[in-house]
Each structure stands twice: as C-alpha cells, then as structure tokens.
Amino acid sequence: MAIKKTTKTPKKTAKKSTSKKTTKKLAAKKTPVKKRTTTKKVAKQTYLGEEAFLASIEPYKLNKKEKYMSAKQKRHFAKILERWKQMLQLEQDRTADKIQNNSNHFADESDRATHEEGFTLEIRTRERERKLLSKIDESVDDLNKGDYGFCVNPNCGVEIGIRRLEARPTASLCIDCKTLEEITEKQQYG
C-alpha cells in the first residue's frame, strides 16, 4: 500500500501577496463553515443509536475536479456533525428529565427494581454518548481550524478520505494509522 504524504501546513505559511487573484483565493479558502441555526426537523427525530445514525448519512457526491476538503465538503461534514450532536444532546436532556421526574413513582419495590435496571442501562448509554459528544466537538473544532479530514499522527498527515469520514465522522486517524494503533493496543492489553 503506497502512502501518499500530504502535508497540510503550507496554506498557512503562504506569503502575503499583493496580487488581487491570490488574495481572493486565500479569502475564499478561509470561508468559515456555515453555522446552522435550524433545529426544527431534528428535534422531532428519535435517535436510534450510532449505527442507525451513520447509516442515515447521505454519501457526498464527489466532483472530479474538486479538492479534498473543499468548502462544500466541509459544509457536508459540519452538517453531519451538527445533526449528530443535536440528536445526542436531546437524548442527554431526556434522560436528565427522567432522573428528575421519576424517582418517586414506584411504590412497589419490585417494580422499582425492574425500572431501575432499565434506567441504569440508559444512563450507561448516555455516558458513552457524552464521550462521543466531546469527540464530535473536537471534530467541529478541527473543521473550523482546517485540520479536519487529515490524519493527526504527526508522522503521517495523509487525507483520511471522504468515505471513511462518512463511516466515522469523528475519525482523526487514517485507516493505516488506526489499524496500527489497534494492533499495538492488542499487543499491550490483549
């Protein structure tokens, strides 16, 4: 497997140019990812778990001449991350409401026990999702900084790839580095 090294730093160090063309180009590149303020649709959807959410992502239609992580691609992923975040946040809020409202509803001890079992499960799920939420926030930060979509391994830095990102929007390692990390972890703990 050939690893293409793509370094992403030169952009920032680009010399200041007085030429109109260059200035225009640089300005276009810096276009911030559009913030979405609409929440109406999302609020009514039920979150059916990570797998279902990932399956609902519509694949990006790639234009041949398009550069990797073009403004349009960035918007595509910003939208995905934002939608995911909203859905997870809603689940967090729902559980928090339940905790507040439900504590005294069960007079019967065994009813309460059954109820609490399901509750514990729910709370664990929310804990896992909270970690996911902070990963999503990191990805959003990366998007805004222009780092999103590139492998974070300092010795690597290749493009993670649109399809891998759609399968795993919070991925920060390319598939090769991720595989290597998993092998190393297995050797250490497995």
Nearest to 175 by CA among 156, 189, 188, 190: 156
Q: At what angle do helices 109-145 and 71-102 cross, to 10 degrees?
A: 160
Based on the shown chain and the rule CB under 5 A, indicate whether residue 87 belongs to the binding site for Zn ion.
no
State the Cα–Cα distance between residues 104 and 33, nearest whole angstrom.
46
Among 70, 86, 153, 170, binds Zn ion (CB under 5 A): 153
The DSSP bridge partners found for residue 150 are 159
User: Least distance from C-beta 137 to Zn ion, angstroms?
Assistant: 22
Q: Which is nearer to Zn ion, 81 or 174 (CB)?
A: 174
Q: Assess 88 for contact with Zn ion (CB under 5 A).
A: no
The binder of Zn ion chosen from 88, 136, 156, 171 (CB under 5 A): 156
Site string for Zn ion, 95-124 (x = CB under 5 A): ------------------------------
171 binds Zn ion (CB under 5 A): no
DSSP state of 59: P
CA atoms within 13 A on the CB side of 127: 6
Interacting span for Zn ion (CB under 5 A) from 23-31, 74-82, 97-105, 170-178: 170-178
Residue 151 as a binder of Zn ion (CB under 5 A): the answer is: yes
Min CB(181)–Zn ion separation in Å? 9
d(CA 174, CA 159): 7
Sign of CA dihedral 71, 145, 148, 86: negative
Query: CA separation (Å) from 107 to 110, 111, 119?
Result: 9, 8, 17
Which range binds Zn ion by CB under 5 A, 71-79, 95-103, 105-113, 149-157? 149-157
Q: Does 174 bind Zn ion (CB under 5 A)?
A: yes
Least CB distance to Zn ion at residue 59 (A): 22
Per the structure block, which two tokens stand in for 63? Answer: 């234009």
What residues line the site for Zn ion (CB under 5 A)?
A: 151, 153, 156, 174, 177
